[in-house]
Amino acid sequence: MMDAVVKFTSQSQGRDRVFRATQYACALSIYLLRNKPDRKDLVARLKSLENNMSAGRKLLRLGNAANSIVAAKQTMQLSDRLLSLCLTVANINRALYFICDNAVWARNVGLIRSIDKERWSINASRYYLFSLVMNLTRDLYVILQLMQKKGRDNRFKSRMNQHLSDCPEVAEAVIPELDALIFLLLETLRSEPTVALDTVKNICDLFIPLDRLGIYKSSAGVVGFCGLISSLIGILTLARPTLRIKP
């Protein structure tokens, strides 16, 4: 167990995800404690820890733009053209996000003084949002392919028919075709945890840039909760590579 922890934290990605989980756990805790006057000192310490985690993550992300560019070159070679397009565009936008994020970090520490910090931060959120949208498009595409494959399976068809016959009250309240579609979707996600985890992670991450850009304003608690869930999934998939979606 200890060896696994040491191996995980020795990776830059591992440290970044631990920092990220801590950052959003602090944000969520601050939101939950915001109306408790007797916890002002704790809230102040949590805010300080949150800021430190955010600054530490920006430092750890230096050079990640190059990794995303390499990943984009690799995904361009995929035989599935739609999958290749989604992942390549996602990686390019992720590289641009890291470039903007690195520029904001350089401005914060005083290495660069001539840039508009707010403008670069907004641009970073835009590129992050575009990357997530493309990743979610990939997830949807993969889910639809898996659903088609499972729908042609005779054993699954018999299970679905059994489900519909065992739940007549559902069939009366819901269109049978819709019930069958939902059953097929849930069974597909249950049998493919890598896709399910990646989809949940990307949906949770989506709330962060949407809130930052003012497209869909959420409370600090929602952002903190979604960021924490996404971070925990990231830690899980990094610790257990078999749960990471490929490619």
pLDDT band at 12 (very low <50, low <70, confident <90, very high): confident
pLDDT band at 157 (very low <50, low <70, confident <90, very high): confident
Average pLDDT of the chain is: 89
Q: What is the C-alpha to C-alpha distance for residues 224 and 205, in angstroms, rounded to an integer?
A: 10
| 209-244 residue pLDDT tens | 999 999 999 999 999 999 999 999 999 999 999 999
Q: Measuring CA to CA, which residue among 28, 30, 32 is closest to residue 207?
A: 28
In the chain, domain spans? 1-60+219-247, 66-131
| 39-97 residue pLDDT tens | 999 999 999 999 999 988 988 888 899 999 999 999 999 999 999 999 999 999 999 99
Q: Helix count (H) and strand count (E) of the chain?
A: 11, 0
Residue 10 has pLDDT above 80, yes or no: no
**Model confidence, pTM:** 0.89
DSSP 106: H
